[in-house]
Structure 1
Amino acid sequence: MPLDLSIYYVAIPAVLLVGLTKGGMGEALALMGVPILAMSLPPVQAAAILLPVLVVMDIVSLWIWREYNDRTLLKMLLPGAILGVAIGWATSAYVPRDALRLIIGVITVLFAARYYHNAWRARRGHVVAAKPHRLVPAAFLGALSGYGSFVAHAGGAPFQVYGLPLKLPPRNYTGATVRFFAILNAVKLSPYFALGQLDTTNLSISATLVPLAIAATALGGFLVKRMRPEVFYPFMYAMALAAGLKLVWDGVAAFV
């Protein structure tokens, strides 16, 4: 099947955006890659083309953030996330993906709105303490992240809903985020192969995008490492809000 070069009109901007986010600028916005690619490709094919590129980005991100991590965050969220991927695989033919986008989007928008409300209160002297780890929210949001990551590439927002209120050191938070999604994307490879989506045509397109993916991810890591905490956290919440609004828009548009 001959390669349609017009695909790259949307593939290049998509990979640039996702690469910057994978470098540490807010994993929630990585979900933007599939909608952009879907402007010229079927959504399932767009997701399949992007997955190997994401894996390459993960390898670059793991190297950039190799010295930073928060093991407790990973231990709390990963078990539920792996279960979520398994459920997504088992139910991939039956899941109303637009409904899932809408639900995750609403949760994320409310979460970001709460942050900005608390920031407004903080300017008036009310201090919001960092939240402790909580098993039930971790299990639920971890599973939602894994499930959303598999069926709609929308796993970043639930991860941020749990992780950002912990108020971890920014570099440790980013290192844990990178590891979390690197593991999820690696786990997703086998189900995508089983579903027949990683064929020669899709993999050949993915391979041509790899150099750009590496460069964009490295640039994202370079920029985030130089952000101060008072810049990092408002920026990350803004990214989560933008991702949530995009998910709500997609979900509502599909139903309307």
Structure 2
Amino acid sequence: MAVYRIAIGSPREASNPAAIKAAVAEFFSMLIFVFAGQGSGMAYSKLTGNGPATPDGLVLASLSHAFGLFVAVSVGANISGGHVNPAVTFGAFIGGNITLLKSILYWIAQLLGSVVACFLLNYTTGGMETTGFSLSSGVSVWNALVFEIVMTFGLVYTVYATAVDPKRGNVGVVAPLAIGLVVGANILVGGAFDGASMNPAVSFGPALVSWSWTHHWVYWFGPFIGSAAAAILYDNIFIGDDGHEPLASSDF
């Protein structure tokens, strides 16, 4: 069972050059992703004069996040595994594929990358506010929580199938592409209801910069619950104890 392989790790990991490089890679990947995704929404808002949300805007958000994540995962894959998401890192930890201490390094780097991207956007756009995640009218926190659980489950299940599973073979760019596409598809589903975060860091950066924390906990609990469920189910059903192989330090 996956939870039997959970490891705390050694304090030496905090000063290990490979771990530090991996964390730096996560920082830059997250910066690239958030700058592209959040920035596209700000550009659309400027072009439409801060008009109401439209189907065109939802499609734009879906495409920008899909393309941005595809690139962000690809450029980090050979260094950190290309998590670009605290929930993905948590899923890898639950499956015994990364230690807790290394996960903490990743989480810090991911959050910092998101915050820096939002500050850069705020500065380069002449003071435009970054758009925090919020619930649409008629959507309760429990509706949003289930949305985030299900969407993140699909994301982390995809990550396990295309990047973590030892039987995946040489999939090349298929993993980053699949990960980007499932996020884009989920935004088309959940974007009109709760913004479709699936990523606590993506929610944290705009919330901090704009200092808007309403219902922010949903964007942490939902992704972490969905991530853990996907990791445990995929690992136990499709990998199992006999099929699990230790992954290289440059992978998950």
Same fold (TM over 0.5): no
For CA contacts below 8 A with separation 6 or more, give which structure has more relative contact order: 1
TM-score (norm 1): 0.34
User: Whose helix proportion is higher, 1 or 2?
Assistant: 1
TM-score (norm 2): 0.34
